[in-house]
Each structure stands twice: as structure tokens, then as C-alpha cells.
Amino acid sequence: MSELTQSKLSEVLERFLKSFKSKSGENTYEIRISRMIAMGGKSLIVDFNDLLIYDVDLANRLISEPDEVLESFVTAAYEALRTEGPSYAEKIGKRNVSVRIRNLQDKMSIRKVTTEHLDRLVAVTGIVVRTSDLKPMAVEAAFKCVKCGQMAHVDQTKMMLKHPSGCEHCDEKRNFELVEKETKFVDYQVIRMQESPEELPPGQLPQSFDISLVGDLVNAARPGDRVILTGVVRAEPEYSQGRGKLRLFRSTIEGNYVEVMGKEPEQIQLTKEDEALIKSISSQPNAYERLIESVAPAIYGYETQKEAILLMTIGAPRQVLPDGTTIRGDINVLFVGDPGTAKSELLKYAARTAPRGLYTSGRGSTAAGLTAAVVREKNGMMMLEAGAVVLADQGVASIDEFDKMRTEDRSALHECMEQQTVSVAKGGIVATLNARTSILAAANPVFGKYDDYRNIVENLNLPIPLLTRFDLIFILKDKPDRARDEELAKHILEIHRKGEYVKTPPIEFELLRKYLAYAKKTTPVLTPEAEDRLLDYYLRMRSIGSEAMITVTPRQLEGLIRLATARARVLLHEKVTEEDAIRAVSLVRRMFETVGVDVKTGKVDLGVLHGKPLSERNLLELALDIFKQLEGRDKKSVEGKKFIEEMVSTGKMNNEEATRMLQTLNRSGAIYEVKPGFYRKL
């Protein structure tokens, strides 16, 4: 096969295109060429497996000598196109025809591409992290001789523009000018591919490659897409300023075919046996309890939190209304807890279990790293780079040390958590990327340990709008309890002694991952019984306490619907039953009983999550009334001591609380200090 000349090779490949039949007896490529003419396409997609069946030597030569074989393939495809549709072939010309190879057998990770693969055809898997804007690239440049005006056409194969060696009509050797109108251009784009997070060896930097895409391949992939890319590995010289080419080269890949791996995160392959096993698990009477028990089996206790992780990993279906409005289906969960309560372990487990998961720590994450950034390359190209929540699209993003993040970095998550998009407007690039991600965050209390005498907002240094975007918030407290401490210690000691789980989980890890990926495909519908149960709880919560109390908002009702739907999904049900609604209500009630309680009154008051519970707001109003009385009509400055005495005399607070109230008013800007110890209202 290697002795074949270029023309003979074209003939062999043309025979392959005209004669290859599929298992059903159809002429595969004749049908594809007809479709190509009908659709106005310029690329013929060839399956590598078909070539392997037809001629093994030819397939191997394609891998080792892609430039020669692909050139002959284009000639063969053009000839076949001329036979099928002569007028269309004439119209587009041979230069615009491409042959794309897909389904190469040995798919490798980016890390394995070495100098051995230079000028060979490879298939690599990875994730797109950057895409550049489109630029026209000259493929046939038209030059005009300055002396006699004669036109010369030069084929362009390298990145540097190649000029004519001389004019055919006169003796001019150097003076030529480019004529853009006569020059033929194609679309050109650079994307950067990086190793998938799940393939990355621990402690290693992710390897990446720049891929050049030409013609109809541009815009085939966006940042965040996982792709299989077929292309030819090239070595490009590096340049040094003033010294020309260096001895050092850099590897790039010339893209031939880009296949985006399903719009769904389908890394997990399911067999018929797996499906049967999954259905049998879901049909058992205690299936839900067994699934919860299988979540993070190495961690003792935390059944409620494990249930939340299970529901969050599966989530509810995302809905798009006719006018384009989207209803979020992903569930966001926040763990607030004392040090050493296994928060990070739960987060890492969730990122491993989800069909597509990423784990990141707040201290090392910036707003650009979490969402998206616009980066200027050395060559001046602006490239859009995807961050963690975009890369975890349709999966779970676990963000540890949520409280350690800078405020401006954390605020970048507001849009992602509710609208599920990331908008970028920088450096002339305005883009909106998908971030359909569940956020699982963990934070430590401000005071080191959770203070039971303070509300959650005082314990957590987080902005209130961000706090209300979490569907579930759980407090993990570390309280000494002899019996529980003994059980936990025995559990830890046994794990260390055995080096395996103390109690074998009902469903092992790989099967659980497959189960969750399968369950994400179901779209349950709300039943009237479930609706009534959710409505009843919502209205009851709305009517709690007095009118001045902030109660639940429609955001909490949507959270309830998501949780109920996720539970139905977990059990592979087509309908959301009343039992699903009861479990969702139970989960939310458990959250409110810890997070939504006003510590001063001991009553559930969701004003706690919105900044100030009713008891605090009442005291604030009282303090402002007393200040108003003391300043009188003349608006004279009020002595701090006098104000504190008046507050204490009402009997509603002691000296310490009154002093704290004065500081709160001063800090919030309601009053300001005119001279030491004297205050005035703004």
C-alpha cells in the first residue's frame, strides 16, 4: 500500500467511496454524498471503522501519513461528488471540499500526545476551556505586480504569508501587493483543549493543546464542552524577538473533526444488565433508604445531609417556557459547620459521584476562575476561557471554604445560582455561557465554632441575597455527647484498622454512579395530591406569626417543588406522588428548625435568613423612636450614655445589648458620631 502513488491512492479511495456497503446493504458514502449536495455541505464524514473493514493497510497509512492520504481522499471525494452532482461540484470547487475522519479506535488523553505522534493522525479526548473569535485565513492569495500589473495566485499552506518568487511577465522579484478582493479566505478559529478533570492524575498540572479549526469546523465547540477531537499533531516554531526561530517548538493539533460528547454528561456507559439492575433496585420497598445509606458510606451519620446530596446530584428537570423563560431544576445546598465535621469529605464525595463534578476551594478561586474570563493571547487574539461552574455544566460544583472567598469573587455566583448562566462583557467580547450547575458549598462559622446564641446571618459572613439562593442550608454542630462520640470513634478506628467500610453500603459506588446518571433522564410530573400537600405547607408557613414577620417566599416554594421532583426521579417514578411531597416538606422543615429559628424568641422566623428576625427589627424600631425623642425638634446631637440609659429603662434590653444597638446604628449609617460620645441622625 505504501508504494501507491498519489493518483493510484485517489483511485483506491474513490472505489471505497463508491462501493462500500453497510451491514444493511446500503451504499453508505453514496448516500452521504447525495445528502451533502442536498444540504449544501462541503465536508464528507468518513468512519474510520469502515476504512478498517475495507482495507487495514489503507487505514494504517491514514494514521501514519495523514497529509498524503487526506489529500488523495479529497481528490476521491471531489471525483465522487462530480459523478453525483456535476453542477454542485463545479460551484464549490475542489479547494472547498474536506474529508473528516471520525471514530478513530485509539482515543488518548492529551497527556499522552508526545513527539512520537508528530505529523500523525490522533484522536484526543478533553474539555474545551477557551475559544477565540473567528478570523479569515488566506488559502490562495492574489498578488499584483507593482511594475506591470500582472496578477499571480499563490497557494498558502503556512501561517506566514508566502509571496510570489517573481513576476512571469517582467523581471520584478520583490514588489508585489496583496489584492484582498481576489484572495480566497476560509474561517479560522483556535480553541484550547485541556485534560478532563476526572482524567487528571493527582498533583499534576492539566495539560492543554491549541487546536486550529478551519472552514465548517469553526464554532463546533464552546467552552465547557467535552469533545473527542481528530487531528494531525504539528510542531510550530517558537520565535524570539530579534533572533528569529528558536530551537524549541510547541505542539499544536490541526483539527480534522470535532465530536461534542452528547449534550448530556454521558461519560457513564450503561449495559442492558445495568439497566435491569437499576430498575430492580428502584422497585424495592426500602429503595430510598438504601440509596441514602449508600451515599458517602465512610462518613458516620448525617442521614439528612446525605439525603440532600442524593437529591441535589439528581436534581429536577430544567423547564423552558415558550417565551424562553427558564425554570431552574438544580438544587443548591450549603453546609455550615464546626471544624472537623466532615464537610469537605461530603463535598468531595458529591463531586466524585455526580455524572459531571468539580471540586474547588474558595481560598484559591477567583471570580474569573469560577465563572469565565476573557484572556488576550500572545498573538493578540482575545479568547474566552470557561471557569469551574461552566465546566461543571449539568453536574455539581463543590465549593469548599465558601466563607474564605473574597466578597467580589463570591458575588459572581449570584447569576449562576438563579439564572444558571454566566455573562461576560470584557475586552469587546459579550457572551452568555450555560452554567446549569448545582452548587454544593461548605462554610465555617465566623467565630470558629457555631454560636447557638446568634442567628445564622451573624454566624456566617455571607451576603443575604446569596444565602436565600440555597434551597437547603444545614448546620453541622460538634457537640460532646458520650454515646454518639463513642459510636463515631469506633467507626473511625474500625475504618483505619480494616482499611475498608465498616458496613458495606447496599449499593456500591460504581453502580450508584450509573444509577444517578440513569435517574437524571426521567422527567416526573406533579400530581394534584402532591400539589395540595406543597401548597398547604407553603400557606401555613406564610401565615406564621405576625404580619411584620418575614415568612417564606415563592423561592422556597420552588425549592420544595424541586426537592419533591428530585425524590420522584431518584425512585424512577413518572409522577411526583404525595409521599414525595411529604419527604420534601420534611427535609425543608428540618432545615427551618435549625437555620430559621430566631434565637431570641425560639420561634421559626425566616426573617433570620433575610437579615433580621422580627425580634431584632422590633428593637431597632424602638431604638430609632427613642433617638428621635432625645434629639427633639431642634435635631440636636444625642449623648450616647443618655441613649443607652433610656434604652435600658424600657426593660427590653440590658446595658450590654443597648451599647451593641448603639454600635449597630452607627455602623449601619443610621446615625453618625459628631464628636466623641455624641451622635446625630442622618
Residue-level pLDDT at 264: 47
Query: What is the 3-state composition of the chain as percent helix, strand, coil, each rounded to the nearest 5?
Result: 40, 25, 35
Distances (CA, A) of 617 to 447, 593, 610, 620, 669: 24, 21, 12, 5, 16
Going from N- to C-terminal start, the domains of the chain cover 6-102, 107-260, 285-595, 614-681
Q: Model confidence over 359-418: pLDDT tens digits?
A: 888 776 776 777 777 777 666 667 777 777 887 777 888 888 888 777 777 777 888 888
A 10 A CB-CB count for 61 gives 19
Q: How far is CA 354 from CA 93, 180, 398, in A?
A: 48, 52, 10
pLDDT at 605: 52
Q: For 211, phi and psi rounded to 5 degrees?
A: -115, 130
Cell of 424: 461576560
Cβ count near 264 (within 10 Å): 12
Rounded to 5°, the CA angle 98-100-104 comes to 160
Cα–Cα distance, 190 to 630 (Å, whole number): 70
Mean pLDDT of all residues belonging to the chain:
80
Q: Which amino acid is at 653?
A: M
Domain 107-260 top-level CATH class: mainly beta
Residues 6 or more apart from 324 whose CB is under 8 A from it?
none
Cβ count within 10 A of residue 501: 13
Q: Whole-prediction pTM value?
A: 0.67
Place of cell 441514602: 292
Cell of 607: 426573617
Sequence-distant (6+) residues with CB within 8 A of 640 are 662, 677, 678, 679
- C-alpha triplet 100, 106, 111: angle, nearest 5°: 100
Instruction: Please name every residue paired with 47 in a beta bridge, in sequence order, or none if there are none.
Output: 102
Place of cell 445589648: 657
Q: Strand (E) positions, 241-356?
A: 244-260, 319-320, 326-327, 333-337
The three cell numbers of residue 388 are 469551574
Write the DSSP string, 218-258.
TTS--TT-EEEEEEEEEEEEEEETTTEEEEEEEEEEEEEEE
d(CA 561, CA 46): 47
596: CB partners within 8 A, 6+ apart: 604, 605, 606, 608, 609
Listed in sequence order, the residues at least 6 apart from 28 whose beta carbon sits closer than 8 Å to its beta carbon are: 20, 21, 22, 47, 50
Q: What class does CATH assign to 285-595? A: alpha beta
Strand pairing category for 319-320 and 244-260: unpaired
For 257-274, give the secondary structure using H, E and C.
EEEECCCCCCCCCCCHHH
Q: Which residues contact 554 (CB under 8 A, 6 or more apart)?
A: none
Distance CA(214)–CA(189), nearest Å, equals 7
Residue type, 146: V
Q: Say whether domain 614-681 belongs to CATH 1.10.1040.10.
A: no
CATH number listed for the domain at residues 6-102: 3.30.1640.10
Helices vs strands, H then E, count in the chain: 24, 27
Most distant pair of Cα atoms in the chain: their distance: 108
Phi, psi of 361 (to 5 degrees): -110, 140
Is 82 strand, coil or helix? helix
Q: pLDDT means per 10 residues in the chain (682 residues)?
A: 67 83 80 85 86 85 88 86 83 83 85 87 88 85 83 81 80 80 87 81 81 87 83 82 74 88 57 81 84 84 85 85 84 86 84 80 73 72 75 82 78 80 76 83 83 74 79 83 84 83 81 84 87 85 56 78 89 87 85 61 51 55 74 74 77 74 72 74 70
